[in-house]
Amino acid sequence: MMRFCYQVALLAALLSGCGLTSDGAAPMKANGGKGGLDSGPASDGSVDGSTDSGGADAGPCVPGREICDGVDNDCDGKVDEDLTTNWYRDQDKDGLGWWGDTKAACAKPAGYVSMLGDCDDSDEEIGQGVIEQCNLNDDNCNGIVDDGGACGDFCTARTVGGRAYQYCKYHFPLNNDRDGNAAAAKCTALAGGKYKLVEPETENENTLISQAVGGSEGWWIGLRWKDGGWRWRSNNMEPTFTEWGDGEPNGKWNEPCVELRPHVATWNDKKCDNWMNLTGYICEQVDP
């Protein structure tokens, strides 16, 4: 009996030294693997007791010359710094990019160009270098609508309070086109009906359009005497704001047209064919 127990104990000791259990199998590890050496991957995917080289790109960064390739070549923590090109969206394909949609990249992205100069990327006929037309658009993208004499050689475009105006001066030789009624027709003819003889409807607008031109001589505005009262030409409505000068109006039906005197920003009624001391007429954009 003693000899049997000794033999069993000796066998167990030998198996243990070989990393085996008494049934000849390797003991189970906590991570589910087998074997006396932990050479397999851990449950989180890492390798126990080893250093992951991460492939050819791992390891310390070796500084080099930065090139535009999407890689931090000079090891400064920045990629392609000062090497990318600004590209601008060109949806209308006129060769000019819109500054509202910009990408910095090494290579040209599809639908983008390097030349900036479009303020309306939906219209190929609008962009820097385009000849300005009288159409209530900023065709050449310089920030001024219908400028450069687009609406007439003697008309100066001004943007006042975010609205487009045309200050059109009378010129020599003298002719009969200085009539107040003719001025209204001239404004309506601009840009396919997108302008009208100016109707200053607030004190602020009246002041701004006066300051934009200055001078003591008058400019026709779109108020007239009709149907027993002063009415705007565009809608035949009576004004809710007026800025008559001292003692004005004093003519009514006998002086049915109205001029603006910019130096004092006041109105004066006068005969429609009386162009004395009159500079011209002011047109303003028609609201959509």
What gap in Å lies between CA 142 and CA 99, rounded to an integer? Answer: 14
Res. 119: pLDDT tops 90: no
Res. 11: pLDDT tops 70: no
What is the model's pLDDT at position 175?
A: 60
More confident residue, 12 or 211: 211
Specify the range with the lowest mean pLDDT, choosing from 33-37, 106-110, 149-153, 229-233. 33-37
Res. 35: pLDDT tops 50: no
Residue 211 backbone dihedrals phi, psi, to 5 degrees: -65, -30
What gap in Å lies between CA 211 and CA 260, rounded to an integer? Answer: 12
Res. 174: pLDDT tops 70: no
What is the model's pLDDT at position 255?
A: 96
Res. 24: pLDDT tops 60: no
Res. 63: pLDDT tops 50: yes
DSSP letter at 155 equals E
Res. 22: pLDDT tops 80: no
CA distances from 186 to 116, 168, 193, 196, 233 (A): 37, 10, 10, 8, 13
Amino acid letter for position 127: G
Res. 18: pLDDT tops 70: no
Spatial contact of 226 and 188, defined as CB atoms under 8 Å apart: no
In whole numbers, what is the pLDDT of the chain averaged over residues?
81
pLDDT band at 201 (very low <50, low <70, confident <90, very high): very high
Q: Which residues of 133-165 are buried (b: 16+ CB within 10 A; e: fewer)?
A: bbbbbbbbbeeebbbeebbbeebbbbbbeeebb
Spatial contact of 220 and 197, defined as CB atoms under 8 Å apart: yes
What is the model's pLDDT at position 155?
A: 96
What gap in Å lies between CA 194 and CA 284, rounded to an integer? Answer: 8
Task: Give the mean model confidence (pLDDT) for residues 12-20.
Answer: 46
Res. 220: pLDDT tops 90: yes
Q: Where in the chain are the domains?
A: 72-130, 155-285
What gap in Å lies between CA 20 and CA 31, rounded to an integer? Answer: 18
Task: Give the mean model confidence (pLDDT) for residues 201-214.
Answer: 96
pLDDT band at 237 (very low <50, low <70, confident <90, very high): very high
Token pair of 188 as six digits: 């309506």
- 3-state SS of 235-272? CCCCCCCCCECCCCCCCHHHCCEEEEECCCCEEEEECC
- CA–centroid distance for 266 within its chain: 38
Task: Give the mean model confidence (pLDDT) for residues 81-102.
Answer: 84
1: which residues sit within 8 A by CB, 6+ positions away?
Answer: none
3-state secondary structure of 204: helix
Spatial contact of 178 and 275, defined as CB atoms under 8 Å apart: yes
3-state secondary structure of 72: coil
Pairing of strands 116-118, 97-105: parallel
What is the model's pLDDT at position 263?
A: 96
What is the model's pLDDT at position 251?
A: 87
What is the model's pLDDT at position 252?
A: 79
Spatial contact of 239 and 201, defined as CB atoms under 8 Å apart: yes
Res. 260: pLDDT tops 70: yes
What is the model's pLDDT at position 26?
A: 44
pLDDT band at 129 (very low <50, low <70, confident <90, very high): confident
Res. 45: pLDDT tops 70: no
The total of other beta-carbon atoms located within 10 Å of residue 35's CB is 11
Task: Give the mean model confidence (pLDDT) for residues 137-150.
Answer: 94
- The CATH H-level (homologous superfamily) assignment of domain 155-285 is Mannose-Binding Protein A, subunit A (3.10.100.10)
Could you tell me what percentage of the chain is helix, strand and coil, using 3-state DSSP and rounding each to the nearest 5? 15, 25, 60
Res. 199: pLDDT tops 80: yes
